[in-house]
């Protein structure tokens, strides 16, 4: 059985909070909690499906590392964000790596009981379609941003995406983002120097405060303004 504090956090998650009670109870009863050490994998690309995961503590990088060590980061999952449902839906091996950026705790909904539950209750597939479409919406927004928005807008938008858990959070409660400038540059496919320049500008404008591999958002309304129009009025 999950600790009460984790159950409370689950109910603050946008996806979990909208599940029917029987599905919520199934996840709480069958979910398995795992501690993941920094740089350890929850799963690797090409692994077979073993369950859907939610981040309870810490930070998980979702992306891919090639044989030369080059890293591509699609998203960073923080509490509470779900991942790994794609292979449940298409029955294909994992499409990406899931690596802990720091010591983390994840909740696994194991494959076999989940598949049996969905076989008995096919209506609940709807919720996984909802989870996947939610993420797909953010992918489209990012693709549109690449073609139409300034670097400042894209950076502000990505910081908001991370704070919002890519739509997974009912509300923003933690304004700290654990991410290096290299990782942020990787996600935005721009140079680290450009990210550094933009972040320093955001700091001068009173939007954020920079730390070691950490960004604290201190004025969320200003960040939303930059994401919307690309600049602040002087």
Q: What is the pLDDT of residues 23-77, one digit of tens each?
A: 999 999 999 999 999 999 999 999 999 999 999 999 999 998 777 777 788 888 8
Sign of the CA dihedral running 86, 63, 99, 7: negative
Q: Is the pLDDT of residue 128 over 60?
A: yes
Domains with residue ranges and CATH for the chain: 4-131 (2.60.120.10), 149-229 (1.10.10.10)
Q: What is the pLDDT of residues 205-216, one digit of tens each?
A: 999 999 888 899
Q: Which two tokens stand for residue 4?
A: 């009460």
For residue 186, what pLDDT band results from cuts at 50, 70 and 90?
confident
Q: Is the pLDDT of residue 232 over 80?
A: no
Q: How many Cβ atoms are within 10 Å of 133's Cβ, its own excluded?
A: 10
Q: Which two tokens stand for residue 229?
A: 């129009």
Give pTM, 2 decimals. Answer: 0.83
Q: Is the pLDDT of residue 233 over 70?
A: no
> Which helix or strand (DSSP H or E) is residue 34 part of?
strand 32-36
Dist CA 81 CA 60 (whole Å): 10
pLDDT of residue 48: 97
Q: How many Cβ atoms are within 10 Å of 29's Cβ, its own excluded?
A: 10
Q: Between β-strands 32-36 and 104-110, what pairing exists: parallel, antiparallel or unpaired?
A: antiparallel
């Amino acid at each position: 059985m999950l600790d009460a504090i984790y159950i409370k956090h689950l109910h603050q998650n946008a996806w979990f909070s909208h599940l029917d009670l029987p599905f919520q109870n199934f996840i709480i009863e069958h979910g398995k909690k795992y501690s993941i050490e920094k740089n350890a994998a929850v799963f690797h690309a090409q692994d077979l499906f073993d369950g859907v995961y939610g981040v309870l503590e810490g930070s998980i990088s979702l992306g891919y590392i090639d044989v030369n060590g080059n890293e591509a980061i699609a998203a960073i999952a923080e509490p509470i964000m779900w991942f790994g449902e794609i292979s449940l839906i298409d029955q294909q091996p994992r499409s990406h790596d899931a690596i802990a950026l720091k010591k983390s705790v994840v909740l696994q909904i194991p494959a076999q009981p989940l598949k049996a539950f969905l076989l008995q209750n096919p209506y609940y597939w709807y919720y996984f379609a909802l989870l996947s479409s939610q993420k797909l919406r953010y992918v489209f927004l990012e693709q549109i941003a690449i073609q139409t928005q300034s670097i400042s807008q894209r950076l502000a938008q990505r910081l908001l995406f991370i704070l919002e858990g890519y739509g997974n959070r009912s509300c923003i409660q933690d304004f700290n983002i654990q991410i290096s400038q290299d990782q942020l540059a990787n996600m935005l496919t721009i140079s680290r120097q450009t990210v550094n320049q933009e972040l320093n500008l955001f700091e001068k404008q009173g939007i954020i405060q920079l730390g070691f591999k950490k960004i604290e958002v201190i004025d969320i309304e200003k960040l939303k303004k930059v994401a919307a129009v690309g600049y602040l009025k002087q």
